[in-house]
Chain A
């Protein structure tokens, strides 16, 4: 192949690669493109050779057109239309590779409080107030509303019916909360409290929004919840029935007399049953990497 054509071919290859924003990462892919480009080159060879007396002019033109094509911006994919001559627009059709780069959105600009549990006594809450709502408060309560108030979280235990307040700050958007009671339904209210007399809000407190309900997990054996009658189900027939669980009729449940749930657990879980209610939940597998996969 004459050198001129070879150079032109490389230029077209380069052009085409950038034009289609395809990243060629393997030799196989390179070959595919090479094949396609070969065809293009062959087809346009004569035309090019006659049209262009000098390879340097051609190359220069090519370079120019390449630089004309905007390469994608860092944050996304360019949607700019292909500006290259139509004959080189034939693209490798099989795989379309679009260069991508993403950052996580800083925020979603919405007024929200979401609540999750981490452990039976640790809750995780995150929140945000939309710009629109912020503006609304400013319009209603004055320009310095957010300087004259501080954010608070009201922790509401809906099972045991109590609530208390936790002070947070405007630099945070999430918090881990230690709570006292496991196996309770909690709700968090995000609010703002007046910190001086320059703002007038009823009861010095403004509720912004409330979270979803979440039930914290249970953390002990619930022997206290066993009623004298224990409910069973035959899962085939879907029938429910009960068995007595009082000291006089233990044999109806266990083979041996004087066995209670607690004693049964002590016998069967000698090492793991810590006390009357708690197990050692240290899961040996969690300290051991199961594999290098994860």
Chain B
């Protein structure tokens, strides 16, 4: 029997992508982000979780799955397009198997990619029936994975909270989306970009959130100073528990000089046949407009600080991952052993990362996690893996401190999401937030009355049950045949739909990703366009609502494009 561990390590992977859904065109390259993430990160994680379960390794991991990601994974069009993506990649890999006979090592890799994409198709379609959310839910249900929620569209709280109702809605819709997909309430939340503001505490409590994840100084610079640093969570005066990121473990993985993903045996991200192969040959597999892009088929390893990259070797890469897993393991043993000499409670080392680091950027990351979890289980008994919720339940005593306003962006505060490149957007974010709360204030009682009106149908109309299938009574009416409704009722429902769409446009506008992308300087045009589109759409709908001239076709086109949160109820802004 294993002895009681002296301390704990908690891995938290933050899985997020902005909501990108363009039914109007297949030409948006940005849509591929989802497909790459499914193939390179989400499916590999699921497969490794499954392997660990089958091998009876007792492990724990926490993942935040953001509402935009869940909405996209649940979107039929995107599911179909992902299958097309896989079929194209299988076709390309097949061609590669013939093309690369000149070098056995490369040829083996082309077979490897063929098998991998074929397996993805099998896993996605045959095992998970095109919806991998169920896969993650399964691991949560059997107790090895804790899934937490996030802000509805990853809105960055330190910018939004000048109108508190807008962060309340980010939290509320985030929690509602979580409940829809996982059938229970979330205990934790990944604050978008780890952006903590104490003003959000009351809303976190309102929606039943126990804990948040913050950057290291969210805890270290708390008021007063926490006596155990980040090695124990703290609780805010309002009752929200904060876990701070451990600095050592994050630097080991992330350091650009000697971080794990830079190992010379690992796959080189920037060498891809999308760029390397003959143009006419690769043209059908790159961007529609002929621009070379990554295909995901990469044959080289990092090799070193050289342009002459050697061919990737799967086994060598695995060997490196195993060595690094040992290094990480021993570093944590040392860290926890040392902490235990000072602390009166078992320390927790919290290791949060972007989920997409594992597999997409660091191709061997999921395998590294798998090996590490096995080593933690079999090779030592100093510490065990734990989820934040389990830690809270085991060790409920914690110091009362106010966490520090902070984020996990460069330099720890708001510079990434508020600087000269993107600060033009903030007044629109705020103005539309204000307009949305104004609409909610103006029309909430109208919607309440409409709810009551439908309530009177109870027992007398089969429509009643239909309306009440989902939590929000008015929700599904937009898709049904409305022949039984009076003209007046139809107009009321159109108004509700417009109000709900306004809420969607606001939420999509608030996504921190657009501001990040502008700062980062890649895909800037797309991000700027999204800011313009959601702002423009909101204003136009707002005017139509105010002037009683709702354009049904316009509304319908927005409902099709910006179809995130089908159940949203604008009264969340009340």
Chain B positions 392 through 414: 1 when the CB is less than 8 Å from some CB of chain A, otherwise 0: 11001111100011101111111
**B418 neighbours in A (Cβ, 8 Å):** 116, 118, 124
Query: Does A97 interact with chain B (Cβ within 8 Å)?
Result: yes
A211-247 interface (Cβ within 8 A of B)? 212, 214-223, 225-227, 230-238, 240, 245
A293 touches B537 (CB 8 A): no
Q: Are B229 and A118 in contact (CB under 8 A)?
A: no
Bound Cα distance from A163 to B418, whole angstroms: 25
Q: Is A141 an interface residue (CB 8 A)?
A: no
Bound Cα distance from A197 to B491, whole angstroms:
60
Any B CB within 8 A of the CB of A120: yes
A203 beta carbon closer than 8 Å to chain B: no
Chain A residues with Cβ below 8 Å from B449 are none
B216: interface (CB < 8 Å): yes
Kindly identify which residue among B227, B250, B517, B539 contacts A294, using a CB–CB cutoff of 8 Å: B517
How far, in whole Å, are A267 and B227 apart by their CA atoms in the complex?
13
Residue B426, interface by CB 8 Å: yes
Interchain CB contact (< 8 A) of B221 among A76, A114, A222, A267: A222
User: CB < 8 Å: which of B248, B396, B408, B427 contacts A235?
Assistant: B396
Known contacts A221-B220, A281-B217; A288/B415 CB under 8 A: no
B55 within 8 A of A: no
Contact B398 A286 (CB under 8 A): no
Tell whether B309 is near chain A: CB-to-CB under 8 Å: no
B413 engages A253 (CB within 8 Å): no
Interface 1/0 per residue, A90-109 and B, CB below 8 Å: 00000111101111110010
Q: Is the CB of A281 within 8 A of B412?
A: yes
Minimum distance in angstroms from B20 CB to a CB of chain A = 10
Given the interface pairs A233-B235, A283-B408, A292-B294, the reply to whether A119 lies near B354 with Cβ below 8 Å is: no
**Is there contact, CB below 8 Å, between A114 and B229?**
no
A77 contact set on B, CB distance < 8 A: 551, 554
The chain B residue with its CB closest to the CB of A20 is B553
A97–B556 alpha-carbon span in the complex (Å): 9
Determine if B259 and A294 form an interchain contact, defined as CB atoms under 8 angstroms apart: no
> Of B239, B405, B410, which one neighbours A283 at CB under 8 angstroms?
B410
Instruction: Give a binary string over B330-366; 1 marks a CB under 8 Å from any A CB, 0 the rest.
Output: 0000010011111110000000011011001100000
* In contact, B560 and A95 (Cβ under 8 angstroms): yes
**Min distance, Cβ A257 to any Cβ of chain B, angstroms:** 11
B397 & A234 in contact (Cβ 8 Å cutoff): yes
Chain B residues closer than 8 Å to A25, beta-carbon distance: 24-27
The CA of A105 and the CA of B418, in the complex, are separated in Å by 19
Query: A283-B412, A286-B416, A293-B17 given as contacts; is B159 within 8 A of A100 (CB)?
Result: no
Closest to A211 in B: B162
Check if B342 sits within 8 Å of A120, measured CB to CB.
no
Closest B residue to A120 by CB, please name it.
B413
Tell me, yes or no, whether A4 is within 8 Å of chain B by CB. Answer: no
Of B159, B250, B554, the contact of A285 (CB 8 Å cutoff):
B250
| Complex contacts, B222 vs chain A, CB 8 Å | 222
Q: Are B430 and A114 in contact (CB under 8 A)?
A: yes
CA distance A255 to B340 in the complex (A): 8
B513 within 8 A of A: yes
Is there contact, CB below 8 Å, between B342 and A230?
A: no
- In whole Å, how far is A4's beta carbon from the nearest beta carbon of chain B? 33
User: Quick check: is A195 within 8 A (CB to CB) of the other chain?
Assistant: no
Contact (Cβ within 8 A) A285 B354: yes
Residues of A within 8 A of B256 (CB): 284, 287-288
| Cβ-Cβ contact count across A and B, 8 Å cutoff | 246
Q: Residues 424-437 of chain B: 1 if any A CB is under 8 Å from the residue's CB, otherwise 0?
A: 11111011000000
Measured between beta carbons, the chain B residues less than 8 angstroms from A118 are: 413-415, 418-419
Give the contacting residue for A290; candidates B228, B354, B427, B431; CB below 8 A. B354
Residues of B with C-beta under 8 A to A79: 551
Q: Name A232's contact: one of B255, B399, B411 (CB within 8 Å).
A: B399
Bits for B417-460, please: 1 = Cβ < 8 Å to A, else 0: 01100011111101100000000000000000000000000000
A137 within 8 A of B: no
Distance between Cα atoms of A281 and B251 in the complex (Å) = 11
Decide yes or no whether B215 CB sits under 8 A from chain A.
yes
Separation in Å of the B287 CB from the closest CB of chain A? 13
- Tell me if B344 and A253 are in contact (CB < 8 A): yes
Q: Are B217 and A279 in contact (CB under 8 A)?
A: yes
Q: Is A169 an interface residue (CB 8 A)?
A: no
Cβ contact of A227, chosen from B17, B221, B224, B397, cutoff 8 A:
B224
* A104 and B422 alpha carbons, distance in the complex (Å): 13
A146 within 8 A of B: no
A254 adjacent to chain B (CB < 8 Å)? yes
Q: Please tell me if A198 contacts chain B, counting CB pairs below 8 Å.
A: no
Residues from chain A with a CB closer than 8 A to the CB of B335 are 268
Q: Name the segment of A5-13, A53-61, A152-160, A258-266 touching the other chain.
A: A258-266
Q: Is B520 at the interface (CB under 8 A from chain A)?
A: yes
Report the bound CA distance from A77 to B221 in whole Å: 51
B535 touches A102 (CB 8 A): yes
Decide if B24 touches A291 in the complex (CB within 8 Å): no
In the complex, B304 has a CB within 8 A of chain A: no
Are A98 and B342 neighbours in the complex by a CB distance under 8 Å? no
Contacts of B259 in A (CB 8 A): 284, 288
Q: Is A282 an interface residue (CB 8 A)?
A: yes
**Contact of B361 with A289 in the complex, beta carbons under 8 Å:** yes
- Provide the residues of chain A in CB contact with B471, threshold 8 Å: none
Q: Which of B1-53 contact A (CB under 8 A)?
A: 17, 23-27, 33, 36-37
Residues in B with CB closer than 8 Å to A286 are: 408-411, 416
Q: Is B290 interfacial (CB-CB < 8 Å)?
A: no
Asked whether A218 lies within 8 Å of B405 as measured between CB atoms, the reply is yes
Give bound CA distance, A212 to B210, whole Å.
29
* Neighbouring A residues of B33 by C-beta, 8 Å: 292-293
Please give, as numbers and ranges, the residues of chain B lying within 8 Å of A205 by CB-CB distance. none
Taken together as a complex, chains A and B put the C-alpha atoms of A213 and B500 apart, in Å, by: 30
Establish whether residues A261 and B227, one from each chain, have CB atoms under 8 Å apart when the complex forms: yes
How far does the alpha carbon of A104 sit from the alpha carbon of B509 in the complex, in Å? 12
Are B343 and A269 interface neighbours, CB within 8 A? Answer: no
B74 to chain A, nearest CB (A): 19
Q: Nearest A residue to B517 by beta-carbon distance?
A: A294
Question: Which residue of A100, A114, A220, A234 contacts B536 across the interface (Cβ within 8 Å)?
Answer: A100
Encode A68-84 as 1/0 by CB contact (under 8 A) with B: 00000000110100000
Q: Which 3 A-B pairs have the closest CB atoms?
A: A102-B536, A217-B405, A284-B254
Residue contacts A-B, CB under 8 angstroms, 18 given: A95-B23, A95-B24, A96-B553, A98-B553, A98-B557, A102-B532, A117-B405, A214-B162, A226-B225, A231-B399, A255-B341, A256-B342, A261-B227, A281-B216, A281-B217, A289-B520, A291-B357, A293-B33
18 more A-B contacts (CB under 8 A) besides A79-B551, A284-B259? A102-B536, A116-B159, A116-B162, A117-B405, A118-B415, A183-B223, A214-B162, A221-B220, A232-B400, A253-B227, A254-B227, A256-B342, A268-B229, A282-B411, A284-B256, A285-B408, A290-B356, A290-B361
Residues of A within 8 A of B (CB): 23, 25-26, 76-77, 79, 95-98, 100-105, 108, 114-120, 124, 126, 174, 183, 212, 214-223, 225-227, 230-238, 240, 245, 253-256, 259, 261, 264-265, 267-269, 271-272, 279, 281-294
